[in-house]
Amino acid sequence: MTENGTEYQADKVILTFSIGLIRSNAISFNPPLPEKNQCTIRR
- Range(s) of the domain holding residue 18: 14-43
pLDDT of residue 16: 93
pLDDT of residue 39: 93
Residues with Cβ < 8 Å from 1, sequence gap 6 or more?
7
Under 8 Å between Cβ of 19 and 42: no
- What does the pLDDT look like over 6-26, one tens digit per residue? 998 899 989 899 999 999 989
User: Has residue 8 been placed in a domain?
Assistant: no
Question: What is the rounded CA–CA span in Å between residue 8 and residue 10?
Answer: 7
User: Has residue 4 been placed in a domain?
Assistant: no
Q: Tell me how many domains the chain contains.
A: 1
Range 23-30 average pLDDT: 88
User: Has residue 38 been placed in a domain?
Assistant: yes
Range 35-42 average pLDDT: 92
pLDDT of residue 2: 83
User: Has residue 29 been placed in a domain?
Assistant: yes
Question: What is the rounded CA–CA span in Å between residue 22 and residue 42?
Answer: 10
